[in-house]
Structure 1
Amino acid sequence: MKVAIIHYWFITRRGGEKVVETILSQFPDADIYTLFYDKEQYGDYLKNHTVYTSILNKPFLTKRYQKMFPLYPIGIKSLKLRKKYDLIISSESGPAKGIENPKNIPHICYIHSPMRYCWGFTNDYLKSVNSLLRPVLKFFFERLRKWDETTINNVDLYISNSYNVANRVKNFYNREAEVIYPPIQNSFFTQDTFSLLKKEIYLSFGAITPYKRIDLLVDAFNSNGKTLVVIGDGSEKESLEKKANSNIEFVGNLTWSKIESYFAITKALVFPGEEDFGMVPLEVMAYGIPVLAYKKGGALETVVENIGNMKESTGIFFEQQTVASLNKAIDKFEKSENLFDKVWIKNHAGKFKEDVFIEKFNRLIGLYLKNR
């Protein structure tokens, strides 16, 4: 089949981009359409595909891509399908599903979430900015939400990354969604990942943006004095670095081999945000590392807490996004740290392997096209 893949942007390589790369492995001749593409920063992961970008893909705008949200509808409208395709697959937590489809080509949307700043989390985003800017942002969020509503029925089949997101699709879009969990890279499971080095640190790994709640980690570890390493970059990094005590180290974006060197000395990943799904906990679990997670969102579908039998647990939850609740979970973890079974944790993560995703994704697409 000739396939068009629509993804919101390729700037940093995070969970959504890894999902697209797995889908591309099944459609090696697919073309890609995207609002922004920074090839230098993203790397060569798309080198075998033709990539079409929007009119927004200018250096000044691309560097500020997350702040350009009022222009997203203009950008997606500029992305005209250049060829005759048999199937459109959009990868969505932004405007991707809004691409024009005048020939009514079958359109399947793998949805990571309806746009968070428009649906369900608007107030969280508004709280993170200067109060003088809030009315302006609220206006643009509302305007973008109304535009997003006009694109809901562009999609023939929604596939969500979790039951958490499927519920949002039902609540916000009034559409049903199939569920296929995102793929965790097969190579994580083919090597000996159980380090014998002394476990010295707690780890945060991912984007440093407001909803990830890295601010909560800084407050908690400023309070408890334990060693925390924060891997990643984002809009909050500079301000949180200034706030952090000397026991907290921000190391920026790293190569995977360097990240693995931190895994080797990690006691537990700390995951304080409410995620749509969250691939990072499973990527870390693939190395036998437990996770301390906020008890809400996608973590409820990936982290197993079995209080009666910690050998069949992958981590510990904390109930509230407060310093006291998080530190209570850390204390609880340290009392039972030696009870966790690294092999059991790794095997649990294996249920989310790339092979599992590919088999389910191909089967679902095949059934849909057959019955269409």
Structure 2
Amino acid sequence: MKLAIAHDFVRHGGAEKVLEQMHALWPTAPVYTLLAEDNPQYRDWDIRSSRLQGWLPPSKYRWPLPFYPGMVDRLPQRIDWDIDLLISSSVSLMKNLRVPAHIPHLCCIYRPAMFAYDRQDEFLAGYPAVFRPLLRNFSAKFRSWDQAGSNNPDLYVACSKYVASKVKEYYRQQAKVVYPPVETAAFCEAGKKTERGDYYLTALRLESYKRAETVVEACTRLKLPLKVAGTGPMRRELENIAGPSVEFLGFVPGTEMPALVAGCRTFLFPSEEDFGIAPVEALAAGRPVIAYGAAGALETVSDGETGIHYPHQSTDALVQAIQREQEVDWDEERLRASAERFSTENFRTRFHQTVESLLADWKPPA
């Protein structure tokens, strides 16, 4: 079987965890993308970037936002359509890729575009204030383009029940749920070899909508040791509000994450994520998770059993959750067991079965 993958942007995030497993299943598949960050792990891949790659630093991927729909509309001209299947790996763009009628299109969707729907303010906070009114006007045009392409995929595969509900709400389409892959084995092994430490840990991109400031403020207020793993435009702002107990680690390679997670006391997850791989990694290591109780966290972290939920993305609510967590005696084996349903092996099996089922049942339109 010959297939191609279309992925919005090749970066360092949760969507790339899924992309890596797709590539492991079909290692010769080309990956079409608008922009790719340099990653040694991907140097042997057949990554085919748009012309944007030559003049825009990948870290600035957000800036040409109004031009992306047109670029996606023109992308089919660059694709070799001698394939049996197109998989779009999409947050906001590649699901709209126009695929020839004789080729089935499976869309692995991580979320409908947040700036066009229900989380616009959070997304636009990452732009200078002077541009936000223009981008708000653009969002209406983007929403029309996005919904016009909602029938392009022959099958939606959502990364959580929460995302599936959004696909139904915004696109009036059904989505099959296949949870993303988590390298549970490496974290489980590290957790068994390492004593639970005394520091708190968060790992996320330092962007405004991730709400890292609530974690920094809470641990500063409580004078608790906190390690922050991740990079992003908010780092300097976060450093300015952090107390002496907070340490910024910057980018942490994936090979070092299991030991870092295993050594923490508790993992803090302040973001509203459509799934959220990092909390599952912490559970696999046998470490409890304090998570904002919304969206994907409701499917991965069980309040009072494998972690603590808190009701508002505020520093006060997180402080109360930390104090509540400190009173619980956690069963590490129970935490590890809860993560196994999200293992890499389960993802590969379910996703491959989904692809095979689509190809077996699909018939080109008359």
In structure 1, distance between residues paired with 2:43 and 2:111: 23
Go from structure 1 to structure 2 and tell me whether the alpha carbon gap of 1:132 and 1:29 turns closer, same or farther (over 3 Å shift): closer
1:51 and 2:47 aligned: yes
2:187–2:258 contact (8 Å) kept in structure 1 = no
In structure 2, distance between residues paired with 1:358 and 1:83: 25
Q: Gaps (5+ residues) in structure 1?
A: 307-312
Give runs of aligned pairs for residues 124-139 of structure 1, distance below 5 A: 124-127=122-125, 129-139=127-137
Structure 1 position 21, deviation (Å): 1.1
Structure 1 position 188, deviation (Å): 1.9
Moved more, 106-115 or 357-366: 357-366
Give runs of aligned pairs for residues 245-264 of structure 1, distance below 5 A: 245-264=243-262
2:184–2:281 contact (8 Å) kept in structure 1 = no
Go from structure 1 to structure 2 and tell me whether the alpha carbon gap of 1:254 and 1:332 turns closer, same or farther (over 3 Å shift): same
Structure 1 position 203, deviation (Å): 0.5
Go from structure 1 to structure 2 and tell me whether the alpha carbon gap of 1:236 and 1:230 turns closer, same or farther (over 3 Å shift): same
1:106-157 CA-to-partner distances (Å, cap 9, x unmatched) read 0000100011111211122345555443211201222222221222111110
In structure 2, distance between residues paired with 1:264 and 1:276: 24
Report the counterpart of residue 23 of structure 2 in structure 1. 24
Structure 1 position 103, deviation (Å): 4.1
Q: Quote the RMSD (CA, aligned, Å).
A: 1.8
Q: Taking every aligned residue pair, what percent have the same amino acid on both sides?
A: 31
Report the counterpart of residue 3 of structure 1 in structure 2. 3
Give runs of aligned pairs for residues 205-244 of structure 1, distance below 5 A: 205-244=203-242
1:203-237 CA-to-partner distances (Å, cap 9, x unmatched) read 01121111210011122222211111100011211
1:327 and 2:319 aligned: yes
Q: Gaps (5+ residues) in structure 2?
A: none
In structure 2, distance between residues paired with 1:125 and 1:156: 29
Give runs of aligned pairs for residues 262-277 of structure 1, distance below 5 A: 262-277=260-275
Report the counterpart of residue 346 of structure 1 in structure 2. 336
1:323 alignment partner AA: T
Structure 1 position 5, deviation (Å): 0.4
Report the counterpart of residue 310 of structure 1 in structure 2. none
Go from structure 1 to structure 2 and tell me whether the alpha carbon gap of 1:138 and 1:344 turns closer, same or farther (over 3 Å shift): same
In structure 2, distance between residues paired with 1:125 and 1:44: 29
**Secondary structure in 2 matching 1:317:** strand
**Secondary structure in 1 matching 2:180:** coil
2:333 alignment partner AA: V
Go from structure 1 to structure 2 and tell me whether the alpha carbon gap of 1:272 and 1:190 turns closer, same or farther (over 3 Å shift): closer
Structure 1 position 50, deviation (Å): 2.1
**Secondary structure in 1 matching 2:64:** helix
What TM-score do the two structures reach when normalised by structure 1? 0.91
Structure 1 position 289, deviation (Å): 0.8
Structure 1 position 196, deviation (Å): 4.6
1:314 alignment partner AA: T
In structure 2, distance between residues paired with 1:258 and 1:293: 23
Go from structure 1 to structure 2 and tell me whether the alpha carbon gap of 1:10 and 1:167 turns closer, same or farther (over 3 Å shift): same
1:93–1:114 contact (8 Å) kept in structure 2 = yes
In structure 2, distance between residues paired with 1:322 and 1:44: 37
In structure 2, distance between residues paired with 1:63 and 1:231: 17
Which one has more relative contact order, counting CA pairs under 8 Å at least 6 apart? 2
Structure 1 position 67, deviation (Å): 2.2
Report the counterpart of residue 363 of structure 1 in structure 2. 353
Structure 1 position 359, deviation (Å): 1.3
2:110–2:158 contact (8 Å) kept in structure 1 = yes
Go from structure 1 to structure 2 and tell me whether the alpha carbon gap of 1:125 and 1:319 turns closer, same or farther (over 3 Å shift): same
1:189–1:350 contact (8 Å) kept in structure 2 = no
**Secondary structure in 1 matching 2:121:** helix
**Secondary structure in 2 matching 1:153:** coil
Report the counterpart of residue 35 of structure 1 in structure 2. 34
In structure 2, distance between residues paired with 1:190 and 1:122: 37
2:330 alignment partner AA: F
Structure 1 position 285, deviation (Å): 1.2
Go from structure 1 to structure 2 and tell me whether the alpha carbon gap of 1:260 and 1:26 turns closer, same or farther (over 3 Å shift): closer
1:72 alignment partner AA: Y
In structure 2, distance between residues paired with 1:208 and 1:302: 22
Go from structure 1 to structure 2 and tell me whether the alpha carbon gap of 1:59 and 1:341 turns closer, same or farther (over 3 Å shift): farther
1:351 alignment partner AA: R
In structure 2, distance between residues paired with 1:278 and 1:76: 27
Go from structure 1 to structure 2 and tell me whether the alpha carbon gap of 1:216 and 1:172 turns closer, same or farther (over 3 Å shift): same
